[in-house]
Amino acid sequence: MEWMMAVAVGILFTVGVYLILSKTLLRIVLGTSLLTHGVHLLLLTLAGLKKGAAPLLGNEAEAYADPLPQALILTSIVISFGVTAFFFVLAYRAYQAHGTDDMDSVREEEQ
Amino acid sequence: MNNLLVLPILIPLCTAVILMFLKEQVLLQRFISIFSGILNLVLSCVLVSRIHEKGIQTLHMGGWAPPYGIVLVGDMFAALLVLTASAVSLGILLYSFTSIGPERERFYYYSFFHFLLVGVYGSFLTGDIFNLFVFFEVMLISSYAMISLGGTKHQLRETAKYLLVNIVSSTLFVAAVAYQYAAVGTLNMAQLSQRIAETGQSGVLNVIAVLFLTVFALKAGLFLFFWLPGAYSAPSSAVRALFGALLTKVGLYAIIRTFTLIFTSDPHFTNGWIAWMAAATMILGAMGAVAYNDIPRILNYNVIISVGFIAFGLSAGTPDALDGTVYYLLHDMLGKGLMFILGGLIIAAAGTDRLSSMGGLIKRYPLLGWSFFALALTLAGIPPFSGFPGKVLIIRGGLDSGMLTLSLIGLGSSLLVLYSLIKVFRLAFWGNPPDRELPKVNLKGGTAVAAGLFVLVIVMGLGAEWVNTYVSQAGEVLGSPWLYIEAVLKE
Tens of pLDDT, residues B340-365: 999 999 999 888 888 888 888 898 88
Write the CA distances from B383 to B28, B295, B388, B390, B458, integer angstroms: 42, 25, 5, 11, 10
Assess whether pLDDT exceeds 80 at residue B199.
yes
Specify the pLDDT at position B214: 95
Interatomic CA distance for residues B23 and B349, integer angstroms: 30
> For the packed helices A67-98 and B153-184, what is the interaxial angle rounded to 10 degrees?
170
Mean pLDDT to the nearest integer, B381-385: 86
- Chain A residues lying within 8 Å of B130, measured CB to CB: 72, 75
Distance between B178 CA and the closest CA of chain A, angstroms: 5
B167–A110 C-beta distance less than 8 A: no
Which among B225, B246, B235 is positioned nearest to B343, based on CA atoms?
B235
Distance between B54 CA and the closest CA of chain A, angstroms: 34
Q: Cβ(B104)–Cβ(B349) under 8 Å?
A: no
Assess whether pLDDT exceeds 60 at residue B189.
yes
Question: Which pLDDT band, with edges at 50, 70 and 90, does A109 fall under?
Answer: low
Distance between B184 CA and the closest CA of chain A, angstroms: 10
A20–B164 C-beta distance less than 8 A: yes
A75–B167 C-beta distance less than 8 A: no
A47–B141 C-beta distance less than 8 A: no
Specify the pLDDT at position A110: 53
Cα B42–Cα B45–Cα B46 angle in degrees, nearest 5: 90
Interatomic CA distance for residues B148 and B168, integer angstroms: 19
Interatomic CA distance for residues B325 and B310, integer angstroms: 6
Distance between B205 CA and the closest CA of chain A, angstroms: 14
Question: Which pLDDT band, with edges at 50, 70 and 90, does A102 fall under?
Answer: confident
What backbone phi and psi angles, to 5 degrees, belong to B97? -55, -40
Assess whether pLDDT exceeds 50 at residue B252.
yes
Candidates B137, B156, B167; nearest CB to A94: B156
A82–B141 C-beta distance less than 8 A: yes
* Comparison of pLDDT for B200 and B52, the residue scoring more: B52
Please state the ipTM of this predicted complex.
0.95
- Chain A residues lying within 8 Å of B160, measured CB to CB: 25, 87, 90-91, 94, 103
Give the chain B residue whose CA is nearest to the CA of A71: B130
Q: Using a cut of 0.80, tell me whether the model's pTM lies above it.
A: yes
Specify the pLDDT at position A111: 44
Candidates A43, A46, A90; nearest CB to B148: A90
Give the chain A residue whose CA is nearest to the CA of B172: A39
Q: Cβ(B295)–Cβ(B343) under 8 Å?
A: yes
In this predicted model, what pLDDT tens digit does every residue of A33-73 receive, in sequence order? 999 999 999 999 998 888 889 999 998 888 999 999 999 99
B153–A91 C-beta distance less than 8 A: no
Candidates A39, A72, A103; nearest CB to B130: A72
B151–A93 C-beta distance less than 8 A: yes
Distance between B171 CA and the closest CA of chain A, angstroms: 6
* Comparison of pLDDT for B266 and B173, the residue scoring more: B173
* Comparison of pLDDT for B89 and B442, the residue scoring more: B89
In this predicted model, what pLDDT tens digit does every residue of A1-44 receive, in sequence order? 889 999 999 999 999 999 999 999 999 999 999 999 999 999 99
Specify the pLDDT at position A72: 95
Q: Cβ(B151)–Cβ(B159) under 8 Å?
A: no
Residues of B with CB under 8 A from a CB of A: 130, 133-134, 137, 141, 144-145, 148, 151-154, 156-157, 159-160, 163-164, 167-168, 170-171, 174-175, 177-179, 181-182, 187
Assess whether pLDDT exceeds 60 at residue B73.
yes
Interface test with A, best of B170, B192, B227 (most A CBs within 10 A): B170
Specify the pLDDT at position B1: 61
Specify the pLDDT at position B317: 87
Mean pLDDT to the nearest integer, B105-130: 95
A79–B130 C-beta distance less than 8 A: no
| Mean of the per-residue pLDDT values of chain B | 92
A35–B141 C-beta distance less than 8 A: no
Question: Which pLDDT band, with edges at 50, 70 and 90, does B435 fall under?
Answer: confident
Distance between A84 CA and the closest CA of chain B, angstroms: 9
HEC profile for chain B? CCHHHHHHHHHHHHHHHHHHCCCCCHHHHHHHHHHHHHHHHHHHHHHHHHHHHHCCEEEEHHHCCCCCCCEEEECHHHHHHHHHHHHHHHHHHHHHHHHCCHHHHHCCHHHHHHHHHHHHHHHHHECEHHHHHHHHHHHHHHHHHHHHCCCCHHHHHHHHHHHHHHHHHHHHHHHHHHHHHHHHCCCEHHHHHHHHHHHCCCHHHHHHHHHHHHHHHHHHCCCCCCCHHHHCCCCCHHHHHHHHHHHHHHHHHHHHHHHHHHCCCCHHHHHHHHHHHHHHHHHHHHHHHHHCCEHHHHHHHHHHHHHHHHHHHHHHCCHHHHHHHHHHHHHHHHHHHHHHHHHHHHHHHHCCCEHHHCCCHHHCCHHHHHHHHHHHHHHHCCCCCCHHHHHHHHHHHHHHCCCHHHHHHHHHHHHHHHHHHHHHHHHHHCCCCCCCCCCCCCCHHHHHHHHHHHHHHHHHHHCHHHHHHHHHHHHHHHHCHHHHHHHHHCC
CB atoms within 10 A of CB A40: 23
Buried b (16+ CB within 10 A) or exposed e, B230-265: bbbbbbbbbbbbbbbbbbbbbbbbbbbbbbbbbbbb
Candidates B160, B167, B178; nearest CB to A46: B178
Q: Cβ(B115)–Cβ(B11) under 8 Å?
A: no
